[in-house]
Amino acid sequence: MNAPYGMELRENCNDCASKKENFFCDVSAPALSAFERVKFTSSYPSGAVLFVEGQGPRGVFMVCKGTLKLTMASAEGKTVLVRIAEAGELLGLHSTISGEPYELTAEALEPCQINFVRRHDFLMLLREHPEVYAMAALQLTTQYRGACHQIRYLGLAQNATEKLARFLMESANKGESTTQGIRVNLRLTHEEIAQVIGVSRETVTRSLSELRNKSVISTKGPHLWIRNKSALVAMAAA
């Protein structure tokens, strides 16, 4: 089915070519059929907000296509970018199960396809399908691990260079090896990277420039190449 924002909308999970092992969509046919009966499929443009921090939980949002940034804000307006959500993830899971308000704000970084399930329907899925319950537990575990990474960025790194080096090394895990080094598609602006690692935008810009001057990295548009991985590892472990 054609949809706005230059994206083909797939409303039937059985026809989806993006299923991934260990993600929520990797469940048995009966569980998937039950999910199909209660989900609502929609597309969202870049910049769209699915839910906001402090809002009562309406249900879960399954990311089928696209990426979103999850942020948390202080009363003074300071924002921390907690993580980037990708296809296969369930957003709003903890709040939907616990009944507590959403802890984060979810905003699309690019056009996205989202499957929404109302809270009551999702809790019924958990009760009636143990494998859905197990997959939800796996998602919560993954999110906990991500929170631990965030603590490392904000609390354990000694300086901005170490924080940025750790961020780039983690980004390299999803990069591609090339003759120029490990290529990473940086989908975040300098401001958003600063929100992830807890420094100012100016510090990120300056630190990236220093890494380029030392030939540790090179950049072109949204792409970054890690040209000297051993030097970056040493900075991350400083």
Q: Is the pLDDT of residue 36 over 80?
A: yes
pLDDT band at 81 (very low <50, low <70, confident <90, very high): confident
pLDDT band at 238 (very low <50, low <70, confident <90, very high): low
In this predicted structure, what is the pLDDT of residue 28? 83
- What sign results for the dihedral spanned by CA atoms 199, 237, 150, 172? positive
Domains of the chain listed by start with CATH number: 2-154 (2.60.120.10), 160-236 (1.10.10.10)
Q: Is the pLDDT of residue 54 over 70?
A: yes
Residue 164: both structure tokens together = 């940025």
Residue 39 main-chain phi, psi, to 5 deg: -90, 155
* C-alpha to C-alpha distances, 178 to 183, 218, 229, nearest whole angstrom: 7, 13, 13
Specify the DSSP class assigned to residue 189.
Answer: -
Higher pLDDT, 186 or 61: 61
In this predicted structure, what is the pLDDT of residue 237? 76
* C-alpha to C-alpha distances, 79 to 50, 86, 130, 203, nearest whole angstrom: 17, 20, 37, 16
pLDDT band at 19 (very low <50, low <70, confident <90, very high): low
Give CA angle at 164 (163, 170), nearest 5°. Answer: 95
Mean pLDDT of 42-59: 95
pLDDT tens, position by position, 105-143: 999 999 999 999 999 999 999 999 999 998 899 888 888
